[in-house]
């Protein structure tokens, strides 16, 4: 039992596929254990073992997760929701002390991903192409007058996810109205082009990106990719490589990218498994396998671009039942 490679997936929610993939890749070498604060999280029931835990913000939450790790000989832990990535990154050492590796980037990098304006500033300073963003509306108006940017633009929370509270805005009056109603908004250029998602794995030992899978998003639903097709482009692989190394990401991340007039622009990063990751796995880009290698102390070889173009992914609803 001491040598088992048990993996803990926190806040598993509806991400059944991720649980399935880890089970398949472990292939009996260890258990996949899942947690959620709701017993109506269907992915719980895919796991070999599961725990219903308190809400993440409840007192004692971290201690409960740490003791689940200790008692179940967990070798690696990861979370599928954003706020918990902050927690894992901040308390990385607590997990390492009990022999559990948190699969997450460092705290400063994770926090930058959740602040879209900080990410924008970092990208600009790094000389990487990104989406024009403003938190100062006066600066935005002055750029409109100077012809640097034009309506429509998106107004959205600096911190936010899943397309919640995003408004497409066509006039100064609407910008004023939104800024008068809500705090911590930013104005972002409307990118009239094609949207891509990249699933990237950065080896935990070599710190090199070893897998990049790029999909063109064909159809979105409630902020998630519903249909997509795999593509390859050396120019985009290079841009992602440069960005990922400069930022210092670790483990699995998901990058949103726009292409407008033949140029790529980095938009946002989810420093975790993205909702579209199953497309990468089903196309042969096996991130759970690479995580398992790393936990065994093995360095992964570079497999960037080792997949076929033109593979289409389509989501549909499966149901889980509890009686």
Out of 1, 138, 146, 322, point to the residue binding a second copy (CB under 8 A): 322
> Looking at 52-60, 79-87, 150-158, 220-228, which segment touches a second copy (CB under 8 A)?
220-228
Q: Which is nearer to a second copy, 62 or 218 (CB)?
A: 218
Q: Which is nearer to a second copy, 16 or 267 (CB)?
A: 16
Q: Which is nearer to a second copy, 138 or 322 (CB)?
A: 322
Inter-axis angle of helices 116-125 and 107-114, nearest 10: 110
The whole-angstrom separation of Cα 291 and Cα 258 is 28
Residue list 93-152, contact with a second copy (CB under 8 A): none
Q: Which is nearer to a second copy, 42 or 289 (CB)?
A: 42
The whole-angstrom separation of Cα 288 and Cα 21 is 7
> Looking at 57-65, 170-178, 262-270, 305-313, which segment touches a second copy (CB under 8 A)?
305-313
Q: Which is nearer to a second copy, 163 or 207 (CB)?
A: 163
As measured in angstroms, the least distance from the Cβ of 321 to a second copy is: 5
8 φ/ψ angles, rounded to the nearest 5 degrees: -110, 125
Token pair belonging to 267:
């938009």
Whether 156 contacts 134, CB under 8 Å: no
As measured in angstroms, the least distance from the Cβ of 220 to a second copy is: 10
Helix (H) or strand (E) holding 3: none
Site string for a second copy, 259-288 (x = CB under 8 A): ----------------x--xx--xx-----
Out of 222, 261, 262, 297, point to the residue binding a second copy (CB under 8 A): 222
As measured in angstroms, the least distance from the Cβ of 239 to a second copy is: 27
The whole-angstrom separation of Cα 26 and Cα 4 is 10
Site string for a second copy, 25-64 (x = CB under 8 A): ---------------xxxx---------------------
> Looking at 133-141, 168-176, 187-195, 219-227, which segment touches a second copy (CB under 8 A)?
219-227
The whole-angstrom separation of Cα 6 and Cα 73 is 7
The SS3 call for residue 296 is coil
The whole-angstrom separation of Cα 271 and Cα 66 is 21
Whether 250 contacts 259, CB under 8 Å: no
Q: Is 318 an interacting residue with respect to a second copy (CB under 8 A)?
A: yes
Which CA distances in Å does 272 have to 63, 113, 150, 174, 221? Answer: 22, 11, 33, 34, 20
Q: Is 314 an interacting residue with respect to a second copy (CB under 8 A)?
A: yes
Rg (alpha carbons) of the chain, rounded to whole number:
20
Residues that bind a second copy (CB under 8 A): 14-17, 40-43, 218-219, 221-222, 227, 275, 278-279, 282-283, 308, 310-323
């Amino acid at each position: 039992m001491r040598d088992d490679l048990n993996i803990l997936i926190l806040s598993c929610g509806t991400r059944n596929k991720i649980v399935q993939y880890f089970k398949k890749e472990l292939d009996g070498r260890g258990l996949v254990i899942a947690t959620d604060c709701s017993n109506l999280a269907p992915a719980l029931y895919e796991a070999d073992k599961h725990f219903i835990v308190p809400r993440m913000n409840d007192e004692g939450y971290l201690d409960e997760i740490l003791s689940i790790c200790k008692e179940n000989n967990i070798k690696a832990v990861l979370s599928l929701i954003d706020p918990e990535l902050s927690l894992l990154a901040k308390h990385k050492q607590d997990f390492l002390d009990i022999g559990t590796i948190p699969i997450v980037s460092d705290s400063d990098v994770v926090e930058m991903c959740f602040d879209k304006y900080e990410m924008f500033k970092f990208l600009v300073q790094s000389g990487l192409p990104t989406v024009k963003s403003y938190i100062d509306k006066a600066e935005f108006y002055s750029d409109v007058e100077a012809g640097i940017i034009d309506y429509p633009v998106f107004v959205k929370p600096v911190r936010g996810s899943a397309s919640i509270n995003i408004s497409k805005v066509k006039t100064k009056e609407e910008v004023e109205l939104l800024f008068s109603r809500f705090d911590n908004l930013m104005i972002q250029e409307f990118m009239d082009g094609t949207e891509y998602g990249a699933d990237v794995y950065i080896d935990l030992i070599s710190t090199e990106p070893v897998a990049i899978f790029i999909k063109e998003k064909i159809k979105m639903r409630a902020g998630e990719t519903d249909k997509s097709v795999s593509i390859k482009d050396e120019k985009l692989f290079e841009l992602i490589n440069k960005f990922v190394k400069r930022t210092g990401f670790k483990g699995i991340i998901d990058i949103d990218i726009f292409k407008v007039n033949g140029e790529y622009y980095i938009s946002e990063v989810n420093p975790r498994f993205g909702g579209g990751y199953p497309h990468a796995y089903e196309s042969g880009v096996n991130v759970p396998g690479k995580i398992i290698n790393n936990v065994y102390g093995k360095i992964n070889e570079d497999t960037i671009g080792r997949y076929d173009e033109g593979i289409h992914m389509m989501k549909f609803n499966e149901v889980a039942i509890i009686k």
